[in-house]
Structure formats: structure tokens, C-alpha cells
Structure 1
Amino acid sequence: MDKRQFIKTCAMTAALLSLSNHSNSATSSPNTKRRLPVALNKGDTVGLVCPSKAVDEKAEIQVAQEALQALGFKVKLGKHLTARRGHLAGTDIERASDINNMFADKDIKAIICLSGGSGAARILPLLNYPLIRDNPKVLLGFSDITALHNAIQAQTSLVTFHGPNATASWNTFNVDQFQRVFFERELMNYQNVRLAEDDLVQRQNRIITISSGKARGELIGGNLTVLTALAGSPYLPDFSGKILSLEDVEEAPYRIDRMLSTLKLMGALDKIAGFMFGACVDCRPIGGYGWLTMEEIFNDHIKPLNIPAYRGAMIGHIRQQFIVPIGGKIEMDADAGSFRLLEPVFQSG
């Protein structure tokens, strides 16, 4: 064997070993059953972490902490909450260690994400999934936190919660959602509210049915951009029989079309039982020779699936948003533009 062939053989061996080691630490279909987090109560201690971008002002951390205290909690700050590396809230190891430590800490009953942005996907290989699986707790956040929701769902089957980050608006609607979901532990019925409008018919929070019908299944999804960026990784859950809920912000329609094309090409859309799309905030066309409308995009990708589907749910980058359980079992009604929980999403007792 000459030197060139020897080097090539060594490189191939190293690559295979790397793939083997990675598959041992994270598999796409772990043999686990659905896990429910422990229930929350006022007076509990919650952990505040920042898996993604750093906040611009430390005052935002103070406001977030005060909001959680106003909700009735004691708050423990992540060790690296104020760290910074570029736009990120510290190094990948620092951000991942804060999450791992919060799951390991027996005094912490829930983990609340400070903000979204970008960077959560970078830490997915560094999370301790056996630790998370054995210490099931509430995880709350949205936007870039979609990466955590899907990875934890894929690797542990733990139900997590898509809803306001700690720096989001804690208006009356969101506080009411939080109390009903976490303190009262309702089997929630999610129906868009009608805002006070000086108009004869409802314009805001309006539901558009794509295909009629009802469907049941576990809820998965989150931010479309973040979710599709996980394609081909072991951090995307199985879509079979699931209700897919998506939202996005500041994405031109052609990008929404491209990302739905990705989900179609990877076979994900053909597996789902139902589809909901929330808000697409500031998803405006850019210059060019023309563009597909959002209606045309959904008609091209979703309507041919012949499954119940609607858009306009109060999910996403909006001031008032539903708090929904990723992994929770729901029934959706595409004609009414609503969905409801079928089973509790917390441990009993």
C-alpha cells in the first residue's frame, strides 16, 4: 500500500468511526415512550437559560426575572446567562451546560428560555439526553427554541412547550394561557380570540381553512426555518401520524415555498395527519418578476395531501400567543380553526 492509499484508508476509517460515535450519542428513533414533565406550582423554582443569541441589554434579564417572579416563581439564573461570544449567549459548551445543569438540578421544576434568535441548533450534540429523559421538566420557549423542542422530542419523547420566551410580552392573554396550562392544568381548547375591532367582520386572528375535516395525533413543529434546518439530522422527530404546526417571521414567500418543498422532498409532509400554520409575520415578497402568494404556496404543498389543514392559528411571533405542548395529543378541527388537548400533559400526582 502506497502512502497516498494509506492516508485515504485512514481518513475513511476515521470518518466511519466518527459517524459511529455520533450515532451512539444521538439516534433518530430512540426506543422511548412519551414522557410527561412534572407539574408546576406557584412557589416552585424555575431556571432561566439562554440557548441562542445574547440579549442586547442586561436590563432584559432583569425584566424577564421579574416577570417570572410575578407569575409566582423563584428564579435561578443560568451560570452563563450573561456570557457572550459574537451574537451568541456564550460558547456552545456554556449554553449547553446551563441546560444540562438545570435538568440535573433537583430544585429546578421548569426551564424557561430567555429569548430566541439563532444558535440553539449548535448545542444539540452537547445536550445530555439520558439526563433530560430521566429528569422530565417543563421547557418553555419558541422561535429558535424550536431546535430544542424537536431534538428533545426526537431523543427523549418528553413533552415540551412552545410559547412565550421570558423576554416576550407577558400581557393579560399570555398570563392567562400560562396559568391555565401550567397551574390549572386544563385540557385546553385553543380557539382564536376576536380582538376589539371597529369593523363589521373579523379581520385579525382570522382562520383560513385549507382542507376541511378533523384529525388526531401528537403535535410537533415550531418555527419553519429552524425546523427545516434540522433535516437529515437525528434531532428531527418522526412525522408519522402527527399534527404539524408551523410559523415563521420575516421570510419572503419564496423561502416559505422552498422550505415546504424541503419537507415534501424528505417525505415528512406525506406522513402527517393534520396541518396548522400560525402567523407569518412580515413575510413580504421582495422584488423580481413576481411571486407565489401564500395561498398558492399552501394550495400547492398542503391541499394535495388531503388532510385537515388550516392557517391563522395564534401561534408564532405575535403579541398574544397560545402555549402549546409539543408532543401532546390533540384533536384539530380545520373548519372551526381550533384544536384541543385530548390527554393531560403533566405527570399525575
Structure 2
Amino acid sequence: MTINRRQFLASLGLSTLATQISPVIAQSQISPPTTIKAPRLKIGDTIGLVSPAGIIEVQDIEKAKQTFTNLGLNVKTGVHILDRDGYLAGTDINRVQDIHTMFVDKSVKAIIAMRGGWGCNRILPLLNYPLIRSHPKIIIGYSDITSLLLAINARSRLITFHGAVATSTWNQFTIDYFKSILFNGEKLTMENNTTPEGKIEIITPGKARGKLIGGNLSVVTAMLGSAYLPSWYNNILFLEDIGEDIYRVDRMLTQLKNAGILNQIAGFIFGQCTNCQASDQPSFTLMQILQQHIKPLNIPAWYGSMIGHIQNKFTIPVGLEVKIDADNGTITMLESAVN
């Protein structure tokens, strides 16, 4: 059975929106002028778990519930969280329904994606951005969830969060940033740990200021040409990826360059490119590719920030004003990311 947008909104109990569907569609094409922030988390709050991309298993939910119970949070799961539709966690409309339901549910204070994979780009045209803006909540994830974070920031003007998904490794480093930023509302300076994983490589030294915009490189390039990206102008682009051949990283950075994006940004951070190696020889190294594309921009830039498919993760507020220091590889928040 085909469900149109009016029926879908009505099924969520959004009668006023369902009866004014044309204005909703018109408004969703216009980004509001001001950025808003979600309320911070508190011990005892309920978080909503959703599967907007790849398939998950029952044991993934049980593990996630234990993780968030240990953080003092209650858990509510999306109705369609265990759905399957090919390689997706349910149909596009049902995955959207879970997201909308979590945003309008007054008992839910934050929304956390179970995992990435693929599928979020498919649902961007189905999201109700005015509805999301009118119910501002923390939404967090990474990898394929990049699509949701950028689109919601661009179209709802809500600060979103690039960080651990529910199935991530929730070690002390990751938990500390999660709690400091989302519970305590702290204005942090994010700095790598002193392990070998935390080593940075400077591309161009210096300091810059701007809004943090970015996420997974493959996903960002797949969104180019769409209406779901924030402004790049004078902002800080951060990227990460996993399992990409060096020539593919080159190809994607070239796409960003040819699209006019790299020439607009004020600073550049490449988190970590996990298992990004050359399959053929001869080849460039990853750092050579970054030097070729980024160094001519003459903007502060470095590689190796704790962002990406790694165990120790920052919680990155997408759309928040920050200062970066490429010499030290630090990101300093200029204001709290939550209310």
C-alpha cells in the first residue's frame, strides 16, 4: 500500500501538519536564519535509538541498552529498528517515521543512531525539517549518519553531533567527551591523547576560526549538488573515512576542489583514514595527497584528529563556532553546544 506524505504525518498524530501539508513542503525548502541548540542531557533522561541506515541485530540493541544504562540513561527503541529491506534497516518511509517519532516524543531527549552503513542519503527528501526544528534534540552518529547531521544542520539549523553510534566502542575517552559536551555543556578544547593513534601530522601551520562542517568524506562527496549541505564559506571542514584506496581519496578531494568547496574554507581537519592504503604500486601516500590538495590553500590544516572509525572519538558539534590550532591539532569550542 502506498502512503502519501499527508497520511504519513497523520499516522504520527501530527494532525495540524497533516492538514497544512503544502505550507510544510514550502517551508522545508527554506533554511531558517538562526541556529538553535538542543537541551543538554541529564541523568535519568531517555534516549531514542534508531536505525536510519544499515541492518542491526537484537544483540546490538541489548549491548547498546547496557552502554546507556551505565551512563544513567533510559532507552527507547524505534518501532522499525529491527526492520530489514534488502541491505537497509527497513523501508525509507519507515526509517523516517522512526526519526520523526523520536523528535516529537516529549519523553525522548536525544536520538542516537545504532550504526552507519548506507541509506541516510535516500531519506533526506522525506525528512520534515520544520518539525525537527520545532522539537530540537541532540542527534548523534558518524559515518553514513553524516547525511542526517549535515542536512538537519543545513535545513533545520540545529546543532548536530558527529560522534559515536550506539554500536561503537564506548571507552573512557569517548564517554568523557560525550558527557562533557552533551551533559555538562562544557566549552572544551579537544586534544588528541598521547598514544600512537593520537599522533598528528601538520599540513599547514596556523590558527583559524569558523563553524565545524563535515563528516565522512565518501558521504559528503555523495551529497554534492544536493540541497542538504550547509555553507562552506569561511568554515572549518573536517573529514574522515575508512577502507578507501589512496586514489579514491584523491578522487574525492578533487571532487570537493572542482565543486569550489576547498577554496571557500578557512581551515581543514582530516580525522583519520582507517585502513586507507594503496592497492597498486606505484602510488602516492595519503599525506602526499593531502599536501597536494590542501597545502596550496594556505589555510591551517592537519591530519590525525580523533575523528572517524577509531575507538577513541571526539564528540564534534556540527555547525558550532570553534577555533582551531593546526600546530597543536586542537579544536576549541567558543560556546556550549547545548542549552
| Aligned counterpart in structure 2 of residue 228 of structure 1, from 212, 215, 221 | 221
- Name the counterpart of 2:51: 50
| Aligned counterpart in structure 2 of residue 263 of structure 1, from 253, 256, 259 | 256
Q: Distance in 2 between matches of 1:114 and 1:61?
A: 8
- Name the counterpart of 2:161: 161
Q: Distance in 2 between matches of 1:49 and 1:322?
A: 21
Q: Note if contact 2:238-2:271 (Cα within 8 Å) is conserved in structure 1.
A: yes
What is the CA-CA distance between 1:22 and the residue it aligns to?
A: 12
2:89 corresponds to which letter in structure 1? A
What is the CA-CA distance between 1:236 and the residue it aligns to?
A: 1.2
Q: Note if contact 1:26-1:125 (Cα within 8 Å) is conserved in structure 2.
A: no
What is the CA-CA distance between 1:291 and the residue it aligns to?
A: 1.8
Report the CA distance shift for 1:268/1:306 in structure 2 as closer, same or farther (over 3 A). same
Tell me if 1:317 matches 2:309.
Answer: yes
Tell me if 1:282 matches 2:275.
Answer: yes
Q: Distance in 2 between matches of 1:228 and 1:310?
A: 20
Q: Runs in 1 of length 4+ with deviation above 2 angstroms?
A: 21-27
Identity of aligned residues (%): 47
- Name the counterpart of 2:93: 93
Cα-to-partner distance string for 1:95-124 (whole Å, 9 max, x where unaligned): 011001111111111001100011111111
1:247 corresponds to which letter in structure 2? E
What is the CA-CA distance between 1:32 and the residue it aligns to?
A: 2.2
Q: Distance in 1 between matches of 2:32 and 2:62?
A: 41
What is the CA-CA distance between 1:211 and the residue it aligns to?
A: 0.7
SS for the counterpart of 2:223 is coil
Q: Distance in 1 between matches of 2:86 and 2:263?
A: 39
| Aligned counterpart in structure 2 of residue 334 of structure 1, from 319, 326, 331 | 326
What is the CA-CA distance between 1:31 and the residue it aligns to?
A: 3.6
Q: Note if contact 1:104-1:135 (Cα within 8 Å) is conserved in structure 2.
A: yes
Q: Note if contact 2:202-2:303 (Cα within 8 Å) is conserved in structure 1.
A: yes
What is the CA-CA distance between 1:232 and the residue it aligns to?
A: 0.3
Report the CA distance shift for 1:114/1:238 in structure 2 as closer, same or farther (over 3 A). same
Tell me if 1:108 matches 2:108.
Answer: yes
Q: Distance in 2 between matches of 1:204 and 1:251?
A: 18
Q: Note if contact 1:39-1:182 (Cα within 8 Å) is conserved in structure 2.
A: yes
- Name the counterpart of 1:7: none
Cα-to-partner distance string for 1:266-301 (whole Å, 9 max, x where unaligned): 1111111100001100001112x5222212211111
Q: Distance in 2 between matches of 1:22 and 1:239?
A: 26
TM-score by length of 1: 0.88
SS for the counterpart of 2:198 is coil
Q: Distance in 1 between matches of 2:87 and 2:160?
A: 26
Q: Note if contact 2:28-2:130 (Cα within 8 Å) is conserved in structure 1.
A: no
- Name the counterpart of 1:30: 31
- Name the counterpart of 1:10: none
Tell me if 1:61 matches 2:53.
Answer: no
Cα-to-partner distance string for 1:43-100 (whole Å, 9 max, x where unaligned): 1111100100011x31111111221121111111101001111111100000011001
- Name the counterpart of 1:299: 291
- Name the counterpart of 2:17: none
**Count of matched residue positions in the alignment of Structure 1 and Structure 2:** 318
What is the CA-CA distance between 1:237 and the residue it aligns to?
A: 1.1
Q: Note if contact 2:150-2:228 (Cα within 8 Å) is conserved in structure 1.
A: yes
1:187 corresponds to which letter in structure 2? K
What is the CA-CA distance between 1:25 and the residue it aligns to?
A: 6.4
Q: Distance in 2 between matches of 1:307 and 1:23?
A: 39
Q: Distance in 2 between matches of 1:82 and 1:294?
A: 38
Q: Distance in 1 between matches of 2:28 and 2:131?
A: 13
Q: Distance in 1 between matches of 2:292 and 2:216?
A: 20
Bigger Rg over Cα: 1
1:266 corresponds to which letter in structure 2? A
5+ residue gaps, structure 2: 1-22
2:35 corresponds to which letter in structure 1? R
| Aligned counterpart in structure 2 of residue 308 of structure 1, from 300, 318, 324 | 300
TM-score by length of 2: 0.91
RMSD: 1.7
5+ residue gaps, structure 1: 1-20, 196-202
